[in-house]
């Protein structure tokens, strides 16, 4: 039997401060908790910029965030009155571990397997000898006392009506057709080695346009310059990167029939809104646990002896050639996008 408070349902706090993909990958656990404990209080704690990822999640009672300048001690004091019966540390960072100390009680955690991941990088193996579940399923380790298991469904990124209206208005102003007729491209990535070459993105955008597709180029403000370069090559493309928040970007993706992306948070946003994904994986591998989860997708990757070369991507290819992504051609990506997106 799961632990409950006397005469009451569990009061559960999930902690994951960042980043986009990691937060969205907690949603299968959130869904399972709600279905198993319909009367529970379930709150999520994250950083303020990421709250839009969970704000409309129907399974949560509240999405909490540290206030600007708030200390961890003050945050812990603010959380204390809720008297959570279960506190799930889904981050395993210095900050979340410090919060555990400041908010003592029944905490569950999960194994991030940093040493094992480092060993894969060192030995250039792309799988663990005994296998390992993907990250969304590893999060369930933190909820061991709550009798939940993965339901086989994808992450959820719930969208507000306002975000959907914003995306619809943008696409209508760009002359984009109704329905899911647009292809999304996400050329950005935080680390350079995870980025498919810009000239390949430009070729892809141009070819998609010539073949009669409409294209929307998405990403965050930090991706806007590269995205603008891609959008400029085709009259069929429109630039959205840097113009929308997380909810608006999710709503745009929901209107697209397929997204092409690297190993990024945008990729997980698309799976969260039900849009198929063509994912380009270079220096990172499936065993790390971040492939598109339980969603329609095609992962393009190369079987190279130098993969994986880093745990999260890096500033430059250590070998100088970047063959892990350079040998994935625009023609291959076009075929995958056309096939997965249908028409
Ligand atoms: S080509 Fe090999 S070494 Fe270079 S970034 Fe890709 S995986 Fe790393």
Ligand 1, atom nearest to 326 Cα: 1
Atom of ligand 1 nearest to the CA of 283: 7
Average pLDDT over residues 75-95: 97
How many CB atoms within 10 Å of residue 157?
29
11-146 fold: Rossmann fold (3.40.50)
Residue 89, phi then psi, degrees to nearest 5: -90, 100
Mean pLDDT of 175-199: 91
Query: Is it the case that residue 33 has pLDDT exceeding 70?
Result: yes
pLDDT, residue 122, reads 76
**For the segment 217-263, what is each residue's pLDDT rounded down to a tens digit?**
999 999 999 999 999 999 999 999 999 999 999 999 999 999 999 99
Q: Which pTM was predicted? A: 0.94
For residues 183 and 122, give the distance between their C-alpha atoms in angstroms, rounded to a whole number: 37
Strands 277-280 and 256-262: parallel
Q: What is the pLDDT of residues 16-28, one digit of tens each?
A: 999 999 999 999 9
What pLDDT, on the 0 to 100 scale, is given for residue 7? Answer: 52
φ, ψ for residue 165 (rounded to 5)? -65, -40
Measured from CB, residues less than 6 Å from any atom of ligand 1 are 193, 282-283, 304, 306-307, 309, 317-319, 321-324
Distance (angstroms) between ligand 1 centre and the Cα of 214 equals 32
Give, to the nearest 10 degrees, the angle between helix 161-173 and helix 246-254.
Answer: 60
d(CA 155, CA 272) in angstroms, rounded, equals 5
- Mutating to test ligand 1, I would choose from 125, 126, 263, 282 the residue with most ligand atoms within 8 A of its C-beta, which is 282
> Can you name the CATH fold of 161-341?
Rossmann fold (3.40.50)
Task: Provide the β-strand partners of residue 11.
Answer: 41
Instruction: Name the least confident of 44-58, 106-120, 272-286.
Output: 106-120
Q: Residue 341's pLDDT band (boundaries 50, 70, 90)?
A: confident
Encode pLDDT of 121-155 as tens digits: 777 776 666 668 999 999 999 999 999 999 999 99
Q: Where are the domains of the chain?
A: 11-146, 161-341
Read off the pLDDT of residues 50-68 as tens digits, 9 standing for 90 and up: 999 999 999 999 999 999 9
Q: What are phi and psi of 205, to 5 degrees?
A: -60, -40
Residue 308: asked if its preceding bond is cis (omega within 30°), the reply is yes
* Domains 11-146 and 161-341 in one fold: yes
Q: What's the distance, CA 105 to chain centroid?
A: 29
* CA 309 / ligand 1 centre spacing (Å): 6
Distance of CA 245 to the CA centre of its chain: 15
| Residue 161, burial from CB neighbour count under 10 angstroms (0-12, 13-18, 19+) | exposed
């Amino acid at each position: 039997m799961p632990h409950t408070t006397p005469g009451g349902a569990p009061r559960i706090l999930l902690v994951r401060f960042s980043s986009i993909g990691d937060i969205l990958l907690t949603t299968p656990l959130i869904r399972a908790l709600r279905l198993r404990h319909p009367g529970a209080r379930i709150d999520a704690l994250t950083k303020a910029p990421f709250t839009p990822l969970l704000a409309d999640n129907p399974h949560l009672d509240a999405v909490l965030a540290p206030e600007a300048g708030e200390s961890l001690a003050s945050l812990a004091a603010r959380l204390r009155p809720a008297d959570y019966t279960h506190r799930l540390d889904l981050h395993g960072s210095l900050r979340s571990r410090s919060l555990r100390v400041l908010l003592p009680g029944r905490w569950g955690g999960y194994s991030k397997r940093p040493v094992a991941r480092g060993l894969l990088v060192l030995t250039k193996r792309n799988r663990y000898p005994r296998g390992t579940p993907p990250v969304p399923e590893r999060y369930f380790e933190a909820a061991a006392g709550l009798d939940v298991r993965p339901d086989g469904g994808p992450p959820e990124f719930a969208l507000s009506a306002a975000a959907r209206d914003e995306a619809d208005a943008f696409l209508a102003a760009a002359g984009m057709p109704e329905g899911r007729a647009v292809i999304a491209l996400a050329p950005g990535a935080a680390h350079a080695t995870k980025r498919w070459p810009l000239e390949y993105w430009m070729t892809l955008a141009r070819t998609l346009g010539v073949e009669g597709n409409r294209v929307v180029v998405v990403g965050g403000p930090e991706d806007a310059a590269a995205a603008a370069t891609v959008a400029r090559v085709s009259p069929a493309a429109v630039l959205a990167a840097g113009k929308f928040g997380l909810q608006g970007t999710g709503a745009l993706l929901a209107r697209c029939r397929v997204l092409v992306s690297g190993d990024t948070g945008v990729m997980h946003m698309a799976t969260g809104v039900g849009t198929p994904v063509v994912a380009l994986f270079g220096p990172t591998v499936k065993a790390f646990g971040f492939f598109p989860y339980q969603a329609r997708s095609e992962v393009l990757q190369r079987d190279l002896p130098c993969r994986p070369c880093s745990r999260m991507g890096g500033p430059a290819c250590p070998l100088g050639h970047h063959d892990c992504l350079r040998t994935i051609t625009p023609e291959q990506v076009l075929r995958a996008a056309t096939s997965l997106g249908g028409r």
